[in-house]
Structure 1
């Protein structure tokens, strides 16, 4: 099984699927913001940035999936982004469902000076909503809880794929690029 996963990770198809899934989540976030008029909060913008990190990881994996160094760098970026996104989603869910007096959410997005996306694209990266607001739910699960599920899945799959890198694929396989 781990041999097969190692082989899959050396295929551009797998990295493209990661790219496609991440683009679908980013497009969904933009639809919620611009199509449904849901104002994103600061934590929402940061979670979107984590999805962009996973998108970057998929592009790096697409560049040279057969080279171990590219796969490992891509996997480490993927895992860091998924872990950070999970923590942000968990923090947002805590603000929504079990707030304490010490919990707060900043009003302005604080991005690095070398990448001020909120200044370059304010319609996408400016936070205008409240982190504690429950604006959308599907199957009685709030958006922050969905993001916990999504980032948990990204994290679990990334850990398994990283572990699979220790196992070389066998010669008798049928998976192709």
Structure 2
């Protein structure tokens, strides 16, 4: 099984699944925003950016599958999933603050000056919502809680694949 997982990471089909999962999350996010009228807050935008990091990491390997691009893909995947999980956890803390008057988040995204995504693509990266609003629920969890689960799943899959790659290489 370990050898199979290790080999799968070399195939474009596995990276395509990663790409499709991130793309599906982006489509759902845009549906929530434009179809359901749920404006994203700054934390949602940061989580959206982390999902784009996973999407672009997988796309890189899909465009050119070799050792270097896979290494960059793995790095982008784990950094984006880890960062997304941290942001989701911080968002949950804001939502669960004892005193909502002291729970706050930024209004304008803090993207690097060389890449102001909120100015280049405001329909995707502008934050117009409130971080303390938690109106959407599914199975007793809001979006921040679901994103915690999703990013944790991305990290767990990464760890399984990464360990399989290390162990799989020793047996070859």
Common fold, TM-score beyond 0.5? yes
CA contact (8 A) 2:54 2:77 kept: yes
**5+ unaligned residues in a row in structure 2: which ranges?**
none
Q: CA deviation at 1:135?
A: 2.1
- The answer on 1:120 being equivalent to 2:127 is no
Q: In structure 2, do the counterparts of structure 1 residues 104 and 18 end up closer, same or farther at CA, with 3 Å as the change threshold?
A: same
In structure 1, what is the equivalent of residue 165 of structure 2?
Answer: 165
Over the residues paired in the alignment, what is the CA RMSD in angstroms? 1.9
1:165 counterpart SS class: helix
Write 1 or 2 for the structure with the bigger share of helix.
2
Q: CA deviation at 1:23?
A: 0.3
2:75 counterpart SS class: helix
Q: Give the Cα separation in 1 of the matches to 2:20 and 2:56.
A: 12
- The answer on 1:24 being equivalent to 2:24 is yes
Please give the TM-score of this superposition, normalised by the length of structure 1: 0.89
Q: May I ask how many residue pairs the two structures share in their alignment?
A: 170
In structure 1, what is the equivalent of residue 75 of structure 2?
Answer: 76
In structure 2, what is the equivalent of residue 45 of structure 1?
Answer: 45
Partner deviation per Cα, 1:68-125 (whole Å, 9 max, x = no partner) = 3322221111000000000000111111123567653111112112211111121221
- The answer on 1:57 being equivalent to 2:50 is no
